[in-house]
Amino acid sequence: MAFDYDLLVIGAGSAGLSAAKTAARLGARVAIADPGPLGGTCVNRGCIPKKFLVYAADFVRQQQQAKHYGWKNLAGEFDWPTLRTAIHGELEQLQQSHAKGLEKAGVTVLPHHARFVDEHCLSVGDQTVTADKVIVAVGAKPVLPDLPGIENGLTSRDIFQLPELPQHLMVIGGGYIGVEFGCLFNLLGCQVSLADKHPLVLEGFDDTLRQRVHQSLIDQGLNLLPETALSAIEPQGQEKKVRLSGASSEAITADAVLLALGRKPDLSQLDLDKAGVEVEKGAIAVDAHSRTSQPSIFAVGDCTNRKPLTPVAKAEGVAAAKTLFGPEPTEVSYRWVPSAVFCFPEIASVGWSEAEAQEHETIEVHCETFVPLNYKLTSQKPEALIKVVIAKASQEILGLHMVNDASAEIIQGLIPALRRGLTLSELTETIAIHPTSAEEIFALS
């Protein structure tokens, strides 16, 4: 049978773009189907616009510290519409860049949703397309529980469309999305309340980091409501009354409610059953090479049940394309995948947490705190934290965790050595640059 394309990629986010471009470089005839905008969640509603918000909030922190360094007359006024306009302008440039990159690679863009008719035939817009192989990379969408008034809440998709900065923002969920946006909007001048069903924010991270960040958010003035869940959202004019249950059951009135309750694979428009693709616990089931139950169909990125991180999605897209069109199958290793939470102070983590490591090895834990030099002259002296989890017998480092400004930039430079079995002695025998925060990693005892 002659197919229209060797490969059809469904979804033009991080995973889909990397898969399409890699397959095209390997000589495949490739099309990518997505109603747009190109770049998916990361570019348009997640990583990139959020990081611009991080930079904006950091100017507030610099102003707070500058007077201790001799600066005067620093009072300024933040204008949310100016930032919002600038962010959207840059996102349009990124979308155009992705379009040019696909064109240069020879990838055909089909700006529509794609639905399976069978394993090789798909309905794309008003046309039918056939492909020898298919890679599904549709990503994920916010979890919206079936609660009264849930339609009155915002998701991270909506937050950058706000016409003005809310005076009081209610955040539901203490994962990385809730913590980041709660921290950033607090710095920009909003009153922020954050409710989370867990005792500490950032479930899934190392407990020592969670404790430090939880207390830091309180110290910064956020109203944290642990072990508390959303019951309902009731509109009251321009405001919202948020009804809660659990440890805190008193209703809170806010200008806006951000729903940060996690994300789930966005599979509703695919008709996977018509292609014989199995779904497990709401995600596309795949093997180590991203192959689904249908041999000609692969799935990568957040629509599967693996690590929902942009760099992982990119790596999975590349690996799937190489498996399909390269000389040999390619797998992604998930052992040393780093992650970061871009709040203040920043969190970065790679490898196993203390609890995870205890499931595999007899371990030692080295944990140090210090006040970074740039805070020594200021009135507030937040402590940074470095935690290293080590295999007792081999002294190999199993996990490295940090709470400090720029911790993501510091930790990721060590990952190649960690992958190769870096030991504590090799770390501490390294001569570091002084004075820096990073040198504290090399001074662990």
Rounded to an integer, what distance in angstroms lies between the CA atom of residue 158 and that of residue 141?
Answer: 12
- Which sequence positions are flagged as catalytic? 434
Contact 300, 19 (CB under 8 A): yes
Return the DSSP state at 316: H
CB neighbour class for 287 (10 Å; exposed up to 12, middle 13-18, buried from 19): exposed
Coil vs helix vs strand at 34:
coil
Q: Which of 225, 243, 219, 253 is nearest to 383 (CA)?
A: 219
Q: Is the peptide bond before 345 cis (omega within 30 degrees of 0)?
A: yes
Q: How far is CA 293 from CA 191, 278, 287, 441, in A?
A: 49, 6, 9, 45
Helix (H) or strand (E) holding 33: strand 30-33
Cβ neighbours, 10 Å, residue 149: 17
Q: What is the residue whose two structure tokens read 């529509």?
A: 112
- Write the single-letter amino acid at 300: V
